[in-house]
């Protein structure tokens, strides 16, 4: 039986949520499956991926073929890299300790990249909030100045202008 690792769609219209499942390749997309190995929520930024690493690695080693999106998810979590390293151990390119060291190094870099994206998004959101607050404060100050100018007494200035032309006419 040919097995596939693929996504099973759940959620409502416009708000998809996916289960990562292992299913017979002939089964319908949201139909019968063999094993559920995780979930994927693209609605969050960055996307939330929950994956049972050991189950996923076991199914990949058994020959389950991931679809394109599932391959991206497995790659992001390191399942495919771990399989690659296990292949190197089998061929004698390096030992288990070296493989674990390489995977730990990759995992740290991947975690740092994800945290960097999260902090960058939080910082951008904070800057947008500050700029919106500053723009609102400026708008309120302009509005207050306009109201103050409208309510200020303006009677003295026109009286001086009216006296000046009258005095010039009498001199001539």
Residue-wise pLDDT tens digits, 23-71: 998 988 888 899 999 999 999 888 899 999 999 999 999 999 999 999 9
d(CA 43, CA 152): 54
Fold of 1-67: S16 Ribosomal Protein; Chain: A; (3.30.1320)
pLDDT digits (tens, 9 = 90+) for 64-81: 999 999 999 999 999 999
Domain boundaries, the chain: 1-67, 78-151
Residue 164 pLDDT > 80: no
Laid out side by side, the sheet with 15-24 consists of 48-51, 35-41, 15-24, 3-12, 65-66
Q: Are 47 and 70 in contact (CB under 8 A)?
A: no
Higher pLDDT, 152 or 98: 98
Across residues 121-145, what is the average pLDDT? 89
Torsion angle in degrees (nearest 10) through CA of 97, 99, 102, 107? -100
Q: Which of 58, 33, 67, 55 is nearest to 10 (CA)?
A: 33
Q: What are the helix (H) ranges across 32-95? A: 53-62, 68-77, 79-91
The per-residue pLDDT for 167 is: 56
The per-residue pLDDT for 144 is: 87
What does the DSSP assignment read for 11-49? EETTEEEEEEEEEETTS-TTS--SEEEEEEETTSSSPEE
**Phi, psi angle pair for 112, to nearest 5°:** -65, -40
The per-residue pLDDT for 160 is: 56
Residue 168 pLDDT > 70: no
Q: Name the burial class of residue 66, with classes exposed (0-12), middle (13-18) and buried (19+) by CB atoms within 10 angstroms of its CB.
A: buried
The per-residue pLDDT for 161 is: 58
């Amino acid at each position: 039986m040919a097995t596939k690792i693929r996504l099973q769609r759940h959620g409502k219209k416009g708000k998809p949520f996916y289960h990562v499942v292992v299913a017979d390749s002939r089964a319908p997309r949201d139909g019968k499956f063999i094993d559920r190995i995780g979930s994927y929520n693209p609605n969050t930024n960055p996307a939330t991926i929950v994956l049972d690493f050991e189950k996923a690695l076991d199914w990949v080693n058994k020959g389950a073929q991931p679809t394109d999106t599932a391959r991206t998810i497995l790659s992001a979590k390191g399942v495919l890299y771990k399989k690659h390293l296990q292949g190197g151990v089998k061929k004698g390119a390096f030992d288990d300790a070296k493989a674990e060291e390489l995977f730990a190094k990759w995992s740290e870099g991947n975690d740092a990249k994800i945290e960097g994206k999260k902090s960058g998004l939080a910082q951008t959101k904070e800057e947008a909030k500050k700029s919106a607050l500053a723009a609102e404060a400026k708008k309120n100050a302009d509005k207050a100045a306009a109201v103050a100018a409208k309510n200020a007494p303006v009677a003295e200035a026109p009286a001086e202008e009216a006296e000046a032309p009258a005095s010039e006419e009498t001199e001539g």
